Amino acid sequence: MVIVDRRAAIHSALGEPLRLAIVDHLVLGDASPSELAAVLGLASNLLAFHLGVLDDAGIVRRVKSEGDGRRQYVQLRLDDPVVAALTRPVPTDVLTQSLADALDRTQHVLFVCTANSARSQLAAAAWRRVSPVPVDSAGTHPADRVDPLAVETGRRHGLDLTGATTARLADVDVPDGATLVVAVCDNAHEELTRSGLPAAADRGWLHWHVPDPLRAGTDAAFETAYTQITERVDRLAAALHDLPRAS
């Protein structure tokens, strides 16, 4: 009965069209309240009310930015199997137009983090395992090497990072208009937003709040990052390949 009660509470929360729109918007990426308000055209107080209902129902969580500590991001609780099941497969017919257009144009995926030494490397390696779409990774301020714990985490899960090297974002040659950028850390997302790339609120590119495992420097932190990244990679790959294409 616990699972039934949980599902009932979630369905009740999603019975309001605006709350359903918020959840649909977060299926592929995280967003700050201001980004959500801009996309959905909601006043901040009305958005706060609906986010509170979704939070109370255990559908979303709010997380503090690792970059600008004054910012928060809203993300689906994809670690909850009930929430994960309700949002899979990804409902590609409800994607915002800018993101649907970006996915339709996508011929290349670029995962970006600050140092390009862990999260973006794991994301690119995981992407190669599930999608034929070409992929690269880069950093806004790349480290000298891929972190050994990232290499070891990849090895445990069948991802070979032994020959991987770091790259500077500005040096990566990407197809014009055909690259989907996925920022897998808050610092990179905020730096890219400030630099003038399309606003995250437009959903022409994606942001995933994945805590930096290098801060803890433990196997457990890297395993958590790997789990979060691969869940997101699988969802994005499925959405990209399920999206109806013009004949």
The CA-atom distances, in angstroms, between 112 and each of 18, 61, 96, 190 are 31, 23, 22, 12
Do residues 228 and 63 touch, judged by C-beta distance below 8 A? Answer: no
What's the CATH number where 72 sits?
Answer: 1.10.10.10
Surface-to-core class of residue 245, CB atoms within 10 Å of its CB (0-12 exposed, 13-18 middle, 19+ buried): exposed
Query: What's the number of CA atoms in the CB half-sphere (13 Å) around residue 70?
Result: 1
Q: Is residue 247 part of a domain?
A: no
Together in a domain, 33 and 80? yes
**What's the total number of domains in the chain?**
2
Average pLDDT over residues 142-171: 95
pLDDT for 75-94, tens place per residue?
999 988 889 888 877 766 66
Together in a domain, 110 and 207? yes
Together in a domain, 33 and 113? no
3-state secondary structure of 159: coil
Q: Is residue 215 part of a domain?
A: yes
pLDDT at 91: 66
Together in a domain, 68 and 125? no
Together in a domain, 110 and 226? yes
Closest CA to 188 of 169, 204, 171: 169
Q: Is residue 141 part of a domain?
A: yes
Percent of the chain with pLDDT over 70: 89
Closest CA to 111 of 209, 168, 199, 182: 182
The span from the CA of 72 to the CA of 92, in Å, is 26
Task: Give the domain extent around 40.
Answer: 2-88
Together in a domain, 227 and 108? yes
Q: Among the three residues 61, 88, 115, which one is the final residue of a domain in this structure?
A: 88
pLDDT at 243: 62
Q: Give residue for tokens 């014009």.
A: 176
